[in-house]
Amino acid sequence: MSVLHGCYALQRKLQVYAAAGCIKRAIKALNSMRCVSGYPTIHDYNSLIYCNMKSKFVAVDDLLEIYLGMKRFGPSPNAATFNTMMNGLVSSGRVRDAIRIAEDMGEVGFLPSFSMLSKLLKKSFDFGSLEDSFGVFEFMLKLGFVPTQPCLMKLFVALCEEDSKVPSETAASRVLSVLINKEDCFRDSHDFNPILWALCKSNHIDNALAFLCFLKKKGFECDVYSYTALVYGFCRKRSWKEAYECLDKMEAEGHNPNVITYTIVIKSLSDNEKIKESLYLLKVMEEKKGCSPDMVTYNVILWALCKHKRHRFNVGKLFQVIDRKGLTPDKYTYAAIAVGLLKRGRPCVAERLLHQIISSSCCFVDIVIYNIYLNILCSCNKTKEALFALDSMIRTGIKPTIVSYNTILIGICNEKHIHEAMEIFDQIGWPADLVSFNILLAAACEQGDSTVIERILYRMEHEGFELDVVSSTCLILYFSMAQEFTQFLNFLDNFIGNGSQISIRTFNALMSSLCQKRLAERAYTIYTRFRSNGISPDIKTYDILLRGLIKECNYFLVDELLRDMCKQRLKPDILTNRHMRRLCKEVNSSSYDLKLRYHLHENGINRNTIKLDDSLSR
């Protein structure tokens, strides 16, 4: 009896220790019960887990170890164990561990409750990954549970946002099919509009149209926001004709497009440099009753006009219209004007304008405005002021983005202070991306600083960044100018051997750069390397090399180049004719003309594409 009393005392100690968060002492009390036959029981284990889960000091990892020990050595977990563990893990935000417990529960024949799994699904949106949320969704379906409509909607929208480049047979379409089959899921447009918007935002406009047809067959009525979603989807795909047809259909069905609808179209047109169409649509809005443009619409137009300086339009007239309508220009209005001033070569005026906005206490300045201001300062070669502005921005509680840091990096590199850029890059410890490394690498290659190039490449490798087209092109241009040409050829072989590709535009730029420095023979060697590895030069490549080789009087390689050009079945253009005329004049012979005509004829190309001066052709 005294032994049992001692066991009861240990049980009370166990509960007190567990509730106080002293998990080690609670486990010690649990193990001390082993001196009594049949103890500790499953209830003692559950009591420890429950008391600790309810405390302010939950030892999740220790409890998971206890749970795993129960699975291996006993006593086997029961329904209470699983439910207590799941509840505690969900409350602690340990979504993935909670999912494993739920799966274990199902494997031994216990059924998790619908409310528990719903709670787990909701928690996964906040603490888990999208993969976790979809896993809970699939697990619920496997057990015959259908999640609630809000959870399904939230999961669908999240999947669409992440899965925009994936074909239609995706996780999102699976969730949508469950949502559609759920009884009384849609009552009106407020229920299905979020789905339409999610599909249109993720470039699934075809699926959005199919979903709309399904809704109409079911007798649902669409509203302005339903059609606005479709307009957005068409504009995103640059399907202007379909977007305008959608606007017409809206009006035909009695749903007049509102300011948001028109602003979406205007912004999309403006972003794609269709300024005339944007201004026409603005005029339509101004003439339409109940659809007067707001400051957001005018800001979109102003941004477009100021950004694309080649478009002739009096911005002052637009300001007069804004003033007549009683609208007040905001920070984005002035930011647009500042960008326009910068584009038109007036950076100092742009800087003063934005400095006034930032210094003013009447409006909150966000990161977008600050990034524009940093860009303007760097354009004026005022990187020290830009760094001071960055520090001031951080002190006011605005967190810089990678764009902020890269803007300053570009400014410092443009001032030819590559070592200072590297020091700041190392000291600040910003979350560098591939763009950051490319900015530094381009500057180092341009200045021919091999030490800095090695430092950048070492850090890229250390941080897991691989060379892309931009960084590879910079290195190709740098090594091609190096005195150690064999070093460049080794780099080139490694570059090609790794499966890296170079665009024909970049390749032509490389050829042109070498030929301008009277290194045409070197350019030809590089050309043969790339040709043997599958790159297909265009007529511009041959024109560049022809000009360079003729300048250096390397007539043997000219002959080889002409033969290869004809094998590629490329038709000579105006520049080719010009170079051939120059060649014939320099050697005072039309033999190269005859050779080229022969090569053309041999490869089935019309020989009359070459037209030389009559005096040389005779």
420-479 confidence digits (pLDDT tens): 888 888 776 667 888 888 899 888 888 888 888 888 888 888 888 887 778 877 887 777
Is residue 312 scored above 80 in pLDDT? no
Q: What is the phi/psi pair of residue 584, to 5°?
A: -65, -35
Tokens 């219209």, residue located = 321
pLDDT given for residue 263 in this prediction:
92
pLDDT given for residue 515 in this prediction:
86
Cis peptide before 431 (omega within 30 of 0): no
CB 302 within 8 A of CB 318: yes
pLDDT given for residue 590 in this prediction:
52
pLDDT given for residue 129 in this prediction:
76
Tokens 């549970």, residue located = 145
Q: What is the mean pLDDT of the chain?
A: 79
Q: For 385, how many CA atoms within 13 A lie in the half-sphere containing its CB?
A: 14
pLDDT given for residue 264 in this prediction:
92
pLDDT in tens, 30-53: 777 777 677 788 888 888 888 888
What gap in Å lies between CA 460 and CA 489, rounded to an integer?
22
Mean pLDDT, range 256-284, rounded to an integer:
88
Q: How confident is the model at residue 313 (pLDDT cuts 50, 70, 90)?
A: low
Give the rounded percent of residues in the chain with a pLDDT score beyond 90. Answer: 3
Closest CA to 604 of 571, 560, 564: 571
Mean pLDDT, range 136-160, rounded to an integer:
84
The number of angstroms, rounded, from the C-alpha of 95 to the middle of its chain's C-alpha atoms is: 27
Which token pair is 235?
Answer: 């504009």
Cβ atoms within 10 A of the Cβ of 149, count?
15
Alpha-carbon distances of 555 from 478, 545, 610, rounded to whole Å: 28, 12, 18
Closest CA to 399 of 430, 432, 360, 378: 430
Mean pLDDT, range 306-327, rounded to an integer:
72
* The model's pTM: 0.64
pLDDT given for residue 598 in this prediction:
47
pLDDT in tens, 54-70: 887 888 888 888 888 88
Q: How confident is the model at residue 487 (pLDDT cuts 50, 70, 90)?
A: low
pLDDT given for residue 30 in this prediction:
78
Tokens 């137009």, residue located = 301
pLDDT in tens, 574-611: 777 777 777 666 665 555 555 555 455 454 445 455 45
pLDDT given for residue 482 in this prediction:
64
CB 601 within 8 A of CB 569: no
What gap in Å lies between CA 350 and CA 547, rounded to an integer?
44
pLDDT given for residue 614 in this prediction:
41
Mean pLDDT, range 84-97, rounded to an integer:
85
Tokens 């028109």, residue located = 262
Is residue 103 scored above 80 in pLDDT? yes
pLDDT given for residue 183 in this prediction:
63
Residue bearing the bigger pLDDT, 548 or 495: 548
Alpha-carbon distances of 487 from 40, 255, 479, 481, 501, rounded to whole Å: 73, 68, 7, 11, 19
Alpha-carbon distances of 134 from 103, 127, 139, 177, 459, rounded to whole Å: 14, 13, 9, 14, 37
Is residue 162 scored above 60 in pLDDT? yes
Residue bearing the bigger pLDDT, 597 or 353: 353
Mean pLDDT, range 469-496, rounded to an integer:
71
